[in-house]
Amino acid sequence: MATQTRRGLLAATASALALAAGCLSEEGADPARGGTDDADSSGEGGDSGNESAGSDDATDDDADPADDEDADDEDDAATIDAGNGLAEAEVVRYDHGGYPDEPRIEFLASADGARAWVEDHEFAGEESAVAEALEDTDFAEAVAVVVEAGARDLCHRLEVREVSSDDGTLSVEAAVEKDPGAGDVCAQQMTAVGAVVRAIAADDPPSAATVTVVDDDGRAHEVVVGTDRDDE
């Protein structure tokens, strides 16, 4: 009976040791496996987060200047319907603080004349849309007319209604009108609103222009301007 009991005890002890060893082995494996999983998860999460942030930054950096540029391009020059005797007509609007009592009209028929006009007008600097439009004009086949009038608030601009050519004379009709995109509340400020009208002739460029401007009081002004190309 004593031997039986001792064997039983030994067997029980061996079983207990084996069980303990198994537990120790599993406990040693779990932290290692858990640590590896955490590290992998952390590493993958970190990489993914960095890539995502970099992608967002790149998208913002690339998109904003393009939007700004499209928008710039959109305001620089607008093609309008070209009437009789013209192949094409474009308008570049501008404004500045020098309110004119009466409409001002300039007829530009040469590159030298256009450069001189830009130099005489501080608001039309070399990098302005007005200066670029005049610089890009081929005066062998086109002329430019500068039309300017006064406005009493910042919600108005100069609208060019019609451009055509007949018998060597360019005809331009313009008016000071409320900007369609302006709101109901307008800042009151005396300002000059203008436009450079660039007209490409179907045949020979015009040598003179008749310009009709309706000011912000509704009064119509007609001005005839011209130049002798041979003198220029």
Using CA atoms, how far apart are residues 192 and 194, in angstroms rounded to an integer? 7
| Residue whose entry in the numeric block shows the structure tokens 């967002």 | 56
The answer on 88 and 66 residing in a single domain is no
Using CA atoms, how far apart are residues 58 and 123, in angstroms rounded to an integer? 36
Domain boundary (76, 100, 134) is at 76
Domain boundary (22, 42, 76) is at 76
**pLDDT exceeds 50 at position 120:** yes
The answer on 84 and 178 residing in a single domain is yes
List, for residues 37-96, the tens digit of each pLDDT value.
444 444 444 444 444 444 444 444 443 333 333 323 334 578 888 888 999 999 999 999
The residue with greater pLDDT, 227 or 182, is 182
Confidence of residue 149 (pLDDT cuts 50, 70, 90): very high
Q: With a threshold of 0.85, does the pTM exceed it?
A: no
Domain boundary (76, 107, 138) is at 76
> pLDDT exceeding 90 applies to what percent of the chain?
53
The answer on 221 and 198 residing in a single domain is yes
- Domain hosting residue 165, numbered range: 79-231
The residue with greater pLDDT, 224 or 180, is 224
The answer on 67 and 85 residing in a single domain is no
The answer on 180 and 158 residing in a single domain is yes
The answer on 226 and 171 residing in a single domain is yes
The answer on 161 and 178 residing in a single domain is yes
The residue with greater pLDDT, 165 or 15, is 165
